[in-house]
Structure 1
Amino acid sequence: MEGWIKLIFDEAAKGNPGATGYGCIVWKDTRDIMDSVSGNTGIASNNEAEEMALARGLRFCVDNEFTSVEIEGDSQIIINTTKNNLTPNWKLRRYLVDIAMHLNQLQNYKIYHTFREANKAIDYLSNVGVSLESYTEKILTFDWQNELKQIVNDDLAESVYKVKSEIV
């Protein structure tokens, strides 16, 4: 959507709970990557890491005064928790408060579950996060962003091929 920013977030976990990491990508509607980051969340559950990724991406959007954000994630639990601003899990409540605060600072947002078009790129970032030192973050440089953009484009081409293959 023109004028909107897209935020895609995901986590990677080596056990549940276990070593976790996250990744998020923020890009313009022109597919120009504005922010891409991997982070290590220490030992956590997959849902905690997923919410940390969403909070980190939203913080970037708010800090940069973006007002309209389209949000995609592959965890139906986290999407529903965020939409309803409610969770029975006490460990997730603290992250949900942070997420709600950021969402309230946006003028417009849409959040939905998806199998997402940037599957490989966001999975890559999440796994980089797991490999980092505990509780550290790596903001990717321009060269990494170009590599990510290529992964996204390759994934889009593959997705189109899969859809066409299923139709035939």
Structure 2
Amino acid sequence: MAAVLNNYSNFQDFHSIPVTKPTTGKWRRSRIPPEDYICHRCHVGGHYIQHCPVNGDPEVDTRVSKASELSSKNSGVLYASTPTLCSCNSKADCVYPVHPLPPIKWCIWTKPEIGWIKLNTDGSVSDGNSSIGGLFRDYKGEPLCAFFAKTLHQNTFVVELTAIWRGLHLALSLGIRAIWIESDSLSAVKTINGDQPGGPTSGFYLSEIRELLANFESYRVTHSWREANKAADYVSRMDVGLVDVVFWPPDFPDMLHHIIMDDAQGRVYFRQ
């Protein structure tokens, strides 16, 4: 992305240079910029970027850089550097100070491969009440079914594990053989994958989940940003008046259908 941004800035500089045509018939570009032109490197007028006096100075480059931290294959983060000097390497009170850009994270819901079923799960703990929800979708992003259940647990981590545990039980009863579990609880994902130890209250569900996973031909457990887990979040907050229920697409609320459609069409969700 940094290269793209640099190329875009160079593109702006190149096409802001006035073009004149001499008598030889060959086109050339003037070295003298218009009065209102400001160099995109040092933010000072009077010259173009290729003639900037601070070219080659490593202290000056404050272009936006990219840093990707993919907790799964469908997310990333862009952020700006935070220099203490102006881009012209002067004092901090320069007339052209550099302001860092706020963090911007983007994510999308990713469809599973053909032959796989994706299970998104989520848990909700609010005002002394806790519930779980999950949604199964195929390689086209089409929903198979969803589940909702109330739970007595108040520990958010345990509630997230309970949602995965309940979803795996349902997946086996549906005859699913290759499953991709996705949760917005990074702790739950890391614990299941053995990347971090589980707490004393999670022992039962953690061992149960691992035993259930052994019954599938193929499986994976990954993390998703909450914005890309909107469908499961919506289901986990539904109060259907029942303790445990499985429901099918014809019974889905309109809002859930809209979320599923957005996900299937590759909608990009931003986090700031």
Interval containing the TM-score (normalised by the shorter chain) = 0.7 to 0.9
1:13 to 100, 125, 142: 125
1:66 to 144, 153, 176: 176
For the 8 Å contact 1:23–1:37, the answer to whether it is kept is yes
Query: Do the aligned partners of residues 109 and 43 (structure 1) sit closer, same or farther apart at CA in structure 2, a change above 3 Å counting?
Result: closer
The DSSP-based 3-state class of the residue aligned with 1:20 is strand
Higher Cα Rg, which structure: 2
- 2:245 is aligned to 138
The DSSP-based 3-state class of the residue aligned with 2:192 is helix
Identify which range, 143-152 or 74-83, moves more after superposition.
Answer: 143-152
Aligned-residue CA RMSD in angstroms? 2.7
The DSSP-based 3-state class of the residue aligned with 1:128 is coil
CA distance in structure 2 between the partners assigned to 1:57 and 1:158 by the alignment: 24
Residue pairs, 1:1-168, within 5 angstroms: 1-14=113-126, 18-84=128-194, 87-115=197-225, 118-128=228-238, 132=241, 136-145=243-252, 147=254, 148-154=256-262, 159-160=267-268
For the 8 Å contact 1:6–1:70, the answer to whether it is kept is yes
**Larger relative helix fraction:** 1
CA distance in structure 2 between the partners assigned to 1:124 and 1:19 by the alignment: 15
Q: Which runs of 5+ in 2 are unaligned?
A: 1-112
TM-score by length of 1: 0.81
**Larger relative strand fraction:** 1
The Cα shift of 1:132 comes to 4.6
CA distance in structure 2 between the partners assigned to 1:70 and 1:94 by the alignment: 22
Deviation string 1:29-50 (CA, Å, 9 cap, x unpaired) is 1222222011111242111111
The Cα shift of 1:141 comes to 3.9
- The structure whose RCO (Cα within 8 Å, separation 6+) is larger is 1
For the 8 Å contact 2:144–2:249, the answer to whether it is kept is no
Amino acid at match of 1:110: R
CA distance in structure 2 between the partners assigned to 1:132 and 1:43 by the alignment: 18
TM-score by length of 2: 0.52
Amino acid at match of 2:223: H
Amino acid at match of 2:260: V
CA distance in structure 2 between the partners assigned to 1:113 and 1:79 by the alignment: 6
Q: Which runs of 5+ in 1 are unaligned?
A: 164-168
For the 8 Å contact 2:228–2:269, the answer to whether it is kept is no
The Cα shift of 1:151 comes to 1.8
